[in-house]
């Protein structure tokens, strides 16, 4: 939980605290590094863009990012907003909860993208079955 909260705080700073705001554009598990005391740090700002300024709500850009983490509206339009980062953060949370990768080519077609695999669970309201079985193991709980 501390890692997820720390990553969220990093995104909040980029979106709301930085001037001009920064859209990270490549939030994924492997770009959240752990420093001393397991303090999370966002890394690899190679795809980052300065956010929209004035009355603009998005930045037009060539679509870039990592398979499985990009927001569908960004992929479809090339319009980059802070919501694109929020979608990616949601995928990271799903990885933490499910124990699965955002994109796993070794899985069947319907299960390759974590977001596609999760969607039916939302519709069925069977959220607890998403959890990684290791999270239910009483020996695993600290």
116 is catalytic: no
Provide the b/e sequence for 75-94 (b: ≥16 CB within 10 Å). eeeebbbbbbbebbbebbeb
| DSSP codes of every residue in 29-86 | GGGEEE-GGG-EEE---TT-EE---TT---EE------TTTS-HHHHHH-EE-HHHHH
Q: Which residue has the tokens 């980059």?
A: 80
Catalytic-labelled residue, pool 26, 55, 85, 132: 26
CA dihedral of residues 112, 118, 137, 30 (deg, nearest 10): 60
Q: Which residue has the tokens 């995104």?
A: 11
Catalytic annotation, residues: 26
């Amino acid at each position: 939980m501390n890692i997820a909260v720390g990553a969220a705080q990093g995104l909040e700073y980029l979106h709301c605290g930085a001037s001009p705001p920064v859209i990270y554009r490549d939030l994924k598990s492997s770009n959240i590094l752990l420093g001393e005391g397991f303090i999370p740090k966002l890394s690899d700002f190679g795809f980052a863009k300065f956010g929209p300024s004035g009355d603009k709500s998005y930045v037009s850009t060539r679509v870039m990012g990592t398979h499985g983490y990009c927001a569908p509206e960004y992929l479809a339009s090339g319009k980059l907003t802070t919501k694109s980062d929020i979608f990616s953060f949601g995928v990271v949370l799903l990885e933490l909860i499910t124990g699965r990768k955002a994109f796993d080519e070794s899985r069947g077609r319907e299960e390759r993208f974590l977001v596609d695999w999760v969607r039916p669970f939302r519709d069925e309201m069977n959220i607890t079955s998403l959890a990684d079985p290791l999270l239910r193991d009483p020996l695993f709980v600290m």
